[in-house]
Chains A and B, each alone.
Chain A
Amino acid sequence: MDANEQKSDRPTEVRFAASTTSVDAIQRAAYRFGDRFSVELLPGVDEHICILRSRDDADLDEETENFRVEVLDQTLRVRIRKETEPIRTMILAKAFSRTGVVDPQDLD
């Protein structure tokens, strides 16, 4: 059995409740770990299932925990982004109001 077959034989499954975790947050977390393991995402109504496959012999036991924490962080990032998006747009508009993109009076 070669190394690749060993890796494909040892995928790890991680589940997230769909009510609290978005597909976006999972995808963002998966991207961050792309150098160590791949994530096959199976979205569901009640839960999202992730199948982790190791790259370059990464220790999946340890990486699975890191992945769970990262998904939590990404969920928080999604919430912060959503909550602060209007104010961010307003600040950028104010910053570049002299460019003529927006009417300064609209910002008061």
Chain B
Amino acid sequence: MSRFRGAEAFAASGDDWQLLPFRFERLNGRVLVTNMVGEHLVLSGEDFEVLATGELPADSDLVRRLRAKQVIKRSGERAPLSLLALKARTRHARLAESTGLHIFVVSLRCEHSCPYCQVSRQSEDRDRYDMTLATAERGLDMTFRSPSRSLKIEFQGGEPLLNFGLIEEVVRQAEVRNRDEGRDLGFVIASNLALLSDEVLDFCARHNIHISTSLDGPADLHNRNRPRPGRDSWERAVDGIRRVRETLGVDHISALMTTTKRSLDRVRDIIDTYVDLGLRGIFLRPLSPYGFAIKTKSYSAYDAERWIDFYREGLGYILELNRQGLDLTEYFSTVILRKMLTNVEPGYVDLMSPAGIGIGALVYNYDGSVYASDEGRMLAEMGDETFRLGHLEVDTYESIMTSEALLAPLEESFALSAPMCSDCAFETYCGSDPVYHYATSGDFLGRKSESDFCRRNMAIFKHLIDLYENDEFARRTFLSWAGR
């Protein structure tokens, strides 16, 4: 007697398929199906009807595709459940590692006067807008109280280099504390680079500090967007980028652009500027509804549809440059593609559910106030302290993380229990952004059918899937971006 059963024992029996949890969305006659952890496949309308009516054949290409993506399983099969559980656990692993990013607003002062500034900087030279060492040390106490094995300390402003002495002290103290803690500790300075000195560069080189800067595109556009005395913001930023690259290395500098109304017709010029400076990627992002962007009406100068056109044109051009052999990444797409094509949660605060506020990042303001996110402190600078979680002098990490100011928006905005989001096939790619929705609609959840956050993200998800499914080069490029 053979110790193996015959092939017929492994053949599909045909009528015992069982549905696993999945969601769907119609895409121009085809249907996107995503399984419980967001892995996707696109079906023809006819194939989807077969799935929906439960009339799946014993075996077919469709059945194999659905099984491979854990949309269906055979009765009694356990492996698909274990696989989905493993993937779900991987996706949520970050939750146990809460608060990896700690933002120190070391000064609210800034020598720029950008009309779209989202933090409502103070232009006057006032010491009261600088963080003190005592406040920073309390911020470090809270940073190291976080359970996360990976800690990133980011210095922001205003212009943080205006209080560089404090940055030096925080970095030194954090490194000393970390000798015992052994965390994966990193530092970032978010600076416009106008005040970059050799002393700063030397310190950054010795302490492996990364630099994040702002670059809105070519000189005329950047300088109009970002006025400063001397009208030389672009020249200083470009010179700074070059010096950082030479001193710290190309991997230690990244730039962010902000889309103003004047940027909308110039996405190719903007991308070309990044390429000319040797930057390896660009983050195409819209304005946020906070700070001076609201006061100066910069935020309302264009709508979501216009920004989506800008993004599509930009992504198309980036792919074109990649086709020509250039290795250039669009970072926002990359965050989404990692969520779409891998089981790794990239931890991008705006695209997390539960929301990334508090869990992903905490902000220590110059005056010791603690905020749930950078956008939360931006709202506070506009007079709304809804996302103020406490103060470094009186609160502990425990009291901050269990405060009603944090738990209420987390709970109310949770996408899996939110109308429309809970049914949405894109839910695992998206997130709940309670600060954005509070700023634009007055509640943490927002009405999704009227939300520009939803409109923009849905359009991007659909566009990325369309390219991934129909353009072989885009598919290969996206897989490479997702793996980074």
Q: Which residues of A contact B (CB under 8 A)?
A: 28, 31-36, 73-74, 76-77, 80-81, 83-85, 87-88, 90-92, 94-96
Contacts and interface: CB of A to CB of B under 8 A. Distances in A.
Nearest to A70: B26
A90 B81 CA distance: 8
A88 B422 CA distance: 13
Contacts, number: 61
A90 B84 CA distance: 10
B450 A35 contact: yes
A33 B18 CA distance: 32
A87 B114 CA distance: 53
B85 A91 contact: yes
B134 interface: no
Contacts of B306: none
B88 A83 contact: no
B81 A87 contact: yes
A32 B18 CA distance: 29
B21 A73 contact: no
Which 5 residue pairs spanning A and B have beta carbons closest together? A94-B85, A34-B449, A95-B85, A95-B88, A84-B21
Contact of B84 (A73, A77, A91): A91
B429 to A, nearest CB: 18
B33 to A, nearest CB: 10
B89 interface: yes
Nearest to B89: A95
A80 B48 CA distance: 13
B449 A73 contact: no
Interface string B1-33: 000000000000000001111111010000000
B462 interface: no
A96 B93 CA distance: 10
Interface in B51-98: 52, 81-82, 84-86, 88-89, 92
B111 interface: no
Contacts of A95: 84-86, 88-89, 92
Contacts of B420: 28, 31-32
B21 A91 contact: yes
A84 B35 CA distance: 12
Nearest to A83: B19
B449 A91 contact: no
B415 interface: no
Contact of B447 (A34, A74, A80): A34
9 contacts: A28-B419, A28-B420, A32-B449, A80-B21, A80-B22, A88-B36, A91-B81, A91-B85, A95-B88
Contacts of B84: 91, 95
Given A34-B450, A35-B450, A73-B24, 4 more contacts: A32-B420, A80-B22, A81-B21, A84-B19
A106 to B, nearest CB: 14
A101 to B, nearest CB: 12
Contacts of B92: 95-96
B423 interface: yes
B423 A33 contact: no
Contacts of B423: 28, 74, 77
Contacts of A88: 21, 36
Given A91-B81, A91-B88, A33 B21 contact: no
B430 to A, nearest CB: 15
A84 B86 CA distance: 18
A12 B81 CA distance: 46
Contacts of B23: 77, 80
A91 B89 CA distance: 10
Chain A CB within 10 Å, residue with most, of B26, B88, B423, B450: B423
Contacts of B21: 80-81, 84-85, 87-88, 91
B212 to A, nearest CB: 34
B81 A94 contact: yes
A80 B35 CA distance: 12
Contacts of A35: 449-450
Contacts of B89: 95-96
A91 B450 contact: no
B82 A94 contact: yes
A94 B88 CA distance: 10
A99 B76 CA distance: 26
Chain B CB within 10 Å, residue with most, of A34, A77, A80: A80
A77 B24 CA distance: 8
